Amino acid sequence: MNSSSQTSTFVTVLGWLLICFTAFGVVMSLLQNVMIGAMLPAMNAQATRGGQMPPEFLVFFRAVAAFVLIVQGFLLFAAWSFLKRRNWARRTFIVVFVLSAVWAGFTTLAALAMGVMNPSPNPEMPSSFVGIFRMMGFVFAIVSAAFVVLFVWLIKRLRTADVRAEFKTEHLRV
């Protein structure tokens, strides 16, 4: 960190939260890789001929799971670097928060659209269930909108001068 700046509680707490969430993501990705590597081939072998997945699907699932694990591992490293006040990690999480805010915004719109336009997946469903589904859509939209607000607030806070001053800027030496 810069010698002229103090460390803030905000950056420290956010850094530890990022480490916890990304470490959980790594563990979940590892479990997903184990499941895909062990269970899918076994399930596929037990399926009848018409129900078996083509081998390409298994390769695709393994590749996606491996990619997610690599991304989660990188984010865990970035979270640790964020806690160490590395500027590239601050910028990385600004990008992650921007993408997350956009995703949560689309989720909010989708939840509202599903609650208003198509509240019932089955036209024969009792009207009380339709009301429950509509309410669930609106609650989901409110939670998603709250995440948009949270991510936008984090982005703004990470871009303030006092937070930026805490982070080291590394220069590449060629």
Tens digit of pLDDT at every position of the chain (174 positions):
444 457 899 999 999 999 999 999 999 999 999 988 888 877 777 776 666 777 788 889 899 999 999 999 999 999 999 999 999 999 999 999 999 999 999 999 988 887 766 655 666 777 777 777 778 888 888 999 999 999 999 999 999 999 999 998 776 555
Say if CB 44 and CB 58 are below 8 A apart: yes
Say if CB 44 and CB 52 are below 8 A apart: yes
- DSSP alpha helices (H): ranges in the chain? 9-46, 55-83, 87-117, 127-158, 161-164
- Residue 4 is predicted with a pLDDT of 44
Distance CA 81, CA 15 (A): 9
**CA 11 → CA 76, 87, 144, distances in Å?**
16, 12, 24
Distance CA 27, CA 141 (A): 28
Q: How far apart are the first and last CA of the chain?
A: 23
**Domain layout of the chain by residue ranges:** 1-84, 86-174
- Residue 172 is predicted with a pLDDT of 57
Distance CA 7, CA 2 (A): 9
Answering whether pTM is above 0.85, one says: no
- Residue 38 is predicted with a pLDDT of 84
Residue whose pair of structure tokens reads 């982005």 in the numeric block: 155
Say if CB 93 and CB 158 are below 8 A apart: yes
DSSP state, residue 168: B
- Residue 69 is predicted with a pLDDT of 96
Q: Classify residue 113 as left (phi > 0), alpha (psi -120 to 50) or beta.
A: alpha
Distance CA 151, CA 97 (A): 5
Q: Which of 28, 30, 62 is nearest to 44 (CA)?
A: 62
Q: Which of 114, 103, 121 is nearest to 140 (CA)?
A: 114
- Residue 64 is predicted with a pLDDT of 94
